[in-house]
Amino acid sequence: MDISNFFRIFVNMFTDEDFEEARLEHKEYSSLPQRIMMKKFNDCGRDVFKFWDTIEWDSTWLRHDTEEEKLEKEKQRQWNSHPFKDFIDKDSILL
């Protein structure tokens, strides 16, 4: 089999209809998340606040400091801004 026959067979495998069908399938797949969100938005009566309440927010990245961590950060901030920090202990700062 020479290269010209291989190329001819390869080109004939995919017709214009196959290409168009694949393009449409890709278009529908790529817009799927937007369609899902628009359906949820329309189901909420197009009320943005109800829509936001339906979203499951992943808040693991928004971890708040505990009271001890807040205190330690505040001590560190005050110590860094203290004019005599070279001469005092960090633990001597009172809040």
| Residues of the chain above pLDDT 90, percent | 2
Phi, psi of 14 (to 5 degrees): -110, 110
Domain containing 70: what range? 64-95
Q: Note the pLDDT tens digit of each residue in 26-66.
A: 766 666 778 888 888 999 999 999 998 888 776 666 677 88
d(CA 6, CA 21): 24
Structurally, how many domains does the chain consist of? Answer: 1
Mean pLDDT of 65-76: 88
For residue 22, being part of any structural domain is answered with no
Q: Model pTM? A: 0.34
Q: Is residue 31 part of a domain?
A: no
| 39 assigned to some structural domain | no
How many alpha carbons lie under 13 Å from residue 52 in its C-beta half-sphere?
Answer: 3
